[in-house]
Amino acid sequence: MEKKKFEDLGLSPFTLKAVQVMGFEEASPIQSAAIPVLMTGCDVVGQSQTGSGKTAAFAIPAIERVDPKLAAPQVLILCPTRELAVQVAEETAKLAAFKKGVRELPIYGGQSYERQFRGLKQGAQIIIGTPGRVLDHLDKGTLRLDRIRTVILDEADRMLDMGFIEDIRTVLERMPEERQTVLFSATVPKPIADLIKTFTKEPAWVRIKSPEMTVPGIEQIWYEVDRRTKAEVLCRLIDMEDIRYAVIFCATKLMVDDLVEQLSARGYLADKLHGDMTQAMRERVMNRFRKRSIEFLVATDVAARGLDVKEIEVVFNYDLPNDGEDYVHRIGRTGRAGKGGKAVTFVAGRELYKLQNIIRFTRGNIRRGKVPTLEMVEARRADTFFATLRETLEKREFRRYDELTDRLLEQGYSPTDIISALFHLREGEAGRSSGEEIPIPTPSEGNLAARPKGGKAERKKAPFGRKAGKKDKPTRSTARNVSAAGPERTRSVILNVGRDKGIEAGAVLGVILGVSKVPKDSVGFIKMHDKEAHVEIAEGQAERVVQKLNGIRFQGHRISVRVAAK
Ligand code: AMP
Q: Is the pLDDT of residue 429 over 70?
A: no
Q: Is the pLDDT of residue 213 over 80?
A: no
Tell me whether residue 61 is exposed, middle or buried, using C-beta atoms within 10 angstroms of its C-beta: 0 to 12, 13 to 18, 19 or more: buried
Task: Outline where DSSP puts E strands in 235-305.
Answer: 246-249, 270-273, 296-299
Cα 212 to ligand 1 centroid, rounded to whole Å: 17
Q: Are 345 and 230 in contact (CB under 8 A)?
A: no
Tell me the best of 5, 55, 327 to mutate to test the pocket of ligand 1, counting ligand atoms within 8 Å of each CB and taking the most: 55
Q: What is the mean pLDDT of the chain?
A: 82
- What would the pLDDT profile of 491-545 be if each residue is shown by its tens digit? 899 999 888 887 888 788 888 887 888 887 788 888 888 889 999 998 889 988 9
Q: Which of 405, 340, 339 is nearest to 331 (CA)?
A: 340
Task: Return the residue whose CA atom lies nearest to atom 16 of ligand 1.
Answer: 53
Report pLDDT for 354.
Answer: 82
Segment 438-458 mean pLDDT: 37
**pLDDT category of residue 374 using cuts at 50, 70 and 90:** confident
Q: Is the pLDDT of residue 322 over 90?
A: no
Q: How far is CA 55 from CA 44, 61, 78, 103, 217, in A?
A: 14, 11, 12, 17, 29
Q: Is 469 left (phi over 0), alpha (psi -120 to 50) or beta?
A: left
Task: Return the residue whose CA atom lies nearest to atom 20 of ligand 1.
Answer: 24
How far is 196 from 205, CA to CA, in rounded Å?
11
**pLDDT category of residue 475 using cuts at 50, 70 and 90:** very low
List, as one string, the DSSP characters of 334-366: B-BTTB--EEEEEEEGGGHHHHHHHHHHHT--E
- What would the pLDDT profile of 181-200 be if each residue is shown by its tens digit? 999 998 788 899 999 999 99
411, containing H or E segment: none
Domains of the chain in sequence order = 6-207 (3.40.50.300), 212-442 (3.40.50.300), 476-563 (3.30.70.330)
Task: Return the residue whose CA atom lies nearest to atom 15 of ligand 1.
Answer: 53
Cα 57 to ligand 1 centroid, rounded to whole Å: 9
Tell me the best of 326, 357, 451 to mutate to test the pocket of ligand 1, counting ligand atoms within 8 Å of each CB and taking the most: 357
Q: How far is CA 190 from CA 155, 157, 165, in A?
A: 15, 10, 12
Using a 6 Å CB cutoff, which residues line ligand 1?
Answer: 24, 27-28, 31, 50-56, 91, 323, 357, 360-361
